[in-house]
Amino acid sequence: MQKRTLAKRIAAGFLTGLMSAALLAGCGGGNKPSGGSGAANNPPKIEVPARAPVSTPPTMTFKFGQTEAKVYELTGVDLKNIIRTNKLVAMGDDIFFHTDTKHYEDKLQHTNKVTMKNETIANLTDLGPSGDIHEMTTNGKIVLWQSNRKATEKDKLVIYDGKEAKVAGKWSGSPIGDPDSDKFFVLWGHELREQQLENGEWKINKKLIEDYQKIDPEFGRVAFKSVCVKDGEIYIRYFLPKKDGEKDDTPMLIAFDKSGKELRRYEGVKELPRGWAVTENYVIATGSKGVFRVYDRKSGKELGEAKIEMRPFALCTVKGNDVIVYDDRAKKLYRIDF
């Protein structure tokens, strides 16, 4: 994908139909998704926090509902022969990702980071081999990733404190850091645990959910992956297996509070689904054909959908409603101001 300056605006495709009339929450079975049944005919414009002016012209813009999003290519470091990742993590001004095995003599995946300032990235830094593309998370204070770089470090935990990366204890499930505390919420099988790190080892504080199947019988057939914690809400993604007559599984995102009570569900893009991002005001689902579907995070109502010239392979929230996206076809990072 070549860089475009002020590319043509791409109209958002509105879905028709109405949202679910009610959100069913808690530990009862048979909860229905709160999103995914189509955007309202006249979705409301969400009041978002003021954003500092941007001097760089956007690469492109697109609309979802009544709101315009702006796309900025992050320039300064050529990542074309370096980046190869399905996970992005942002901590402060740094963006973390995995890199291609071909870039290193040891033929292993490495973890790298760049520093972002406005629309520029700099200071590409190799934090050492990870051995493969695995889980990665942060609580805003440290970054964790899984290491399999040699037999003695099989499924080990690597902790980066902003200065150096150290191999610690054993990796645990699918963790996500809580930016409001030192806790992590860890998916382990069909459990959701609250855990903490003590001297590089995991300590289980309590189990918030002991068996997801008690919430919904369908959950006995799915695999869960952590996404993020935002304002005390824990977001987890999964695929709902297709039913008779359906072509594809349905990508879903579910939100819990810190007691394990279900809050909302959102339905993702079925055609070549990719990642999710949770921002100050929005939940964003993507598909590899450039589809972005946007929900009001608090109500679960769909605000609109757009298709742009990008292949969003991985994404994460930086701050506010700003999202970093990795385009695996262009091998570039973009920031989208939603």
Q: What would the DSSP string read from start to end of 168-224?
A: EEE--SEEEE-TTSS-EEEEETTEEEEEEEETTEEEEEEEEES-GGGT-GGGGG---
What's the whole-number mean pLDDT along residues 283-289? 97
CA 26 – CA 263 distance, rounded (Å)? 7
Q: What is the structure's pLDDT at 152? A: 62
pTM to 2 decimals? 0.84
Task: Indicate the average pLDDT of the chain.
Answer: 85
Q: Say if residue 100 is exposed, middle or buried (CB neighbours under 10 Å; 0-12, 13-18, 19+).
A: middle
Q: Which domains are present in the chain? A: 60-337 (2.120.10.30)
At residue 242, the pLDDT reads 85
**167/28: higher pLDDT:** 167
How many of the other CB atoms lie within 10 Å of CB of 271?
10
Q: What is the pLDDT of residue 25?
A: 31
Return the pLDDT at 149: 67
What average pLDDT does range 49-59 have in this prediction?
A: 88
- Span 310-337, mean pLDDT? 96
Residue with tokens 């569900």: 265
147, 166 Cβ separation under 8 angstroms: no
The confidence score (pLDDT) of residue 50 equals: 82
Given a contact cutoff of 8 angstroms between Cβ atoms, the answer to whether 205 and 183 are in contact is yes
Cα 294 vs. chain centroid, distance in angstroms? 13
Q: DSSP state, 11? A: P
Q: Higher model confidence: residue 212 or residue 233?
A: 233
Burial 239-258 (b: 16+ CB within 10 A, else e): bbeeeeeeeebbbbbbbbeb
Of 17-21, 91-95, 288-292, minimum mean pLDDT range: 17-21
- What's the pLDDT band for 15 if we cut at 50, 70, 90? very low
Confidence of residue 239 (pLDDT cuts 50, 70, 90): very high
pLDDT band at 151 (very low <50, low <70, confident <90, very high): low
pLDDT for the residue numbered 1: 43
Of 157-171, 206-220, 286-300, which range is least confident?
206-220
The answer to whether the beta carbons of residues 58 and 51 sit under 8 Å apart is: no
> Of 159 and 8, which is predicted with more confidence?
159
pLDDT above 90 coverage of the chain, percent: 64
C-alpha to C-alpha distance for 308 and 311, rounded to whole angstroms: 8
Q: Determine the length of the chain.
A: 338
Confidence of residue 103 (pLDDT cuts 50, 70, 90): confident
Q: What are phi and psi of 235, to 5 degrees?
A: -110, 130
**Strand 191-198 to strand 60-64: parallel, antiparallel, or no bridges (unpaired)?**
unpaired
Of 113-117, 153-157, 251-255, 270-274, the least confident: 153-157
Q: Does pLDDT of 303 surpass 90?
A: yes
